[in-house]
Structure 1
Amino acid sequence: MAELKLAEGDVPAFVDRLLPLQREAYAVEAALIGDDRIPPLHEDKSDLSSAGLCWLIEVDGDRVVGALGYRTDDGVVDLDRLIVDPSCHRRGIGSRLVKRALAEGPRVTVSTGRENAPARRLYESLGFAHRGDREVIPGLWISEYLHVSDDPAKR
């Protein structure tokens, strides 16, 4: 497998490959949390292109098997979305992408569905600390996490 890093301006070339993968991945999360009101599940090409994200992408041949969209603000990296092809779950793709994102800054934040146990386990196994839960819309709860680098050179 190969990895790519896309700047925000490079995203339109990958939208046709990212959008179906995003929908498949978020359909799995929707089933896990019992709620399909997850915003990325309902995005179209325009929404995805204009989301203002940089991307880390993992490909297998010409097939995108995983992607992580993030933004950086004042040195804090916010992992906006992690998507992995459901047929490729449990192969370390999500873990590799998050580990690469940790190199982008000393403080990294992420949110996931409170009932998404696999995602919560992933973030906790990589050293993210659970900061609390928040109801983003009535009945839809997310868990928020923070990772602070233990490398003094990154702080």
Structure 2
Amino acid sequence: MIRMIDLHKSDIVTELYLLQRASYLVEAKLINFYEIPPLKETVGELKDCGELFLGYFLDEELAGALSYSINGKELTICRMVVHPNHFRKGIAQLLLKEVEKGNKEMAVLKVSTGKENIPARGLYLKNGFEWVGDIEVVPGLYISNFEKRRVEEQ
């Protein structure tokens, strides 16, 4: 089941913190970069990040989460995390569909991932996002940016 995560509840923030650490460690290995900001974040910083979170729960276990921010008609996916025990179960796909369904008024959806994170790149391309370019954020580390533009109905 997918539901909003309330970052004011310390137990769920701790669970989310542990989930994101497990997930981003896998990405860090894929892209050979261990300074990913969420890996350095404290529980307090996570709680105060200002992002909106959707959680995917298996029974009462948090198995995946997606966070996003909204600026006008633009939605930016900030984090997409799935616990490694639940990879390849379609959880990221379901979270992505849910954020799109709940924000139909957004004209543009944006997301970024490590250039070498092939599974994430494939997920976004499969879901209608277009690759818009790579940016070297530190020497030797490239981030791939994707967008999905929606046509407004007249």
TM-score (norm. length: structure 1): 0.91
2:29 equivalent among 28, 31, 41:
31
Matched with 1:61 is 59
Note the alpha carbon deviations across 1:58-108, whole angstroms, 9 max, x for none: 101110000001000011000000000111011100011011122322310
CA distance in 1, matches of 2:54, 2:107: 17
1:72 aligns with 2:70: yes
Q: Which runs of 5+ in 2 are unaligned?
A: none
Name the stretch that deviates more: 59-68 or 99-108.
99-108
Name the stretch that deviates more: 131-140 or 38-47.
131-140
Please identify runs of 4+ aligned residues in structure 1 that moved more than 3 A. Answer: none
Which amino acid in 2 is paired with 1:4? R
CA distance in 2, matches of 1:102, 1:145: 15
Matched with 2:7 is 11
Q: Which runs of 5+ in 1 are unaligned?
A: none
TM-score (norm. length: structure 2): 0.92
CA distance in 1, matches of 2:132, 2:100: 17
CA distance in 1, matches of 2:4, 2:133: 30
Note the alpha carbon deviations across 1:17-60, whole angstroms, 9 max, x for none: 10000000000000111111111111110110111100111101
Over aligned residues, Cα RMSD in angstroms? 1.3
Shift of 1:139: 2.5
1:95 aligns with 2:93: yes
Look up the SS of the partner of 1:101 in the other structure: helix
Matched with 2:41 is 43
Matched with 1:131 is 132
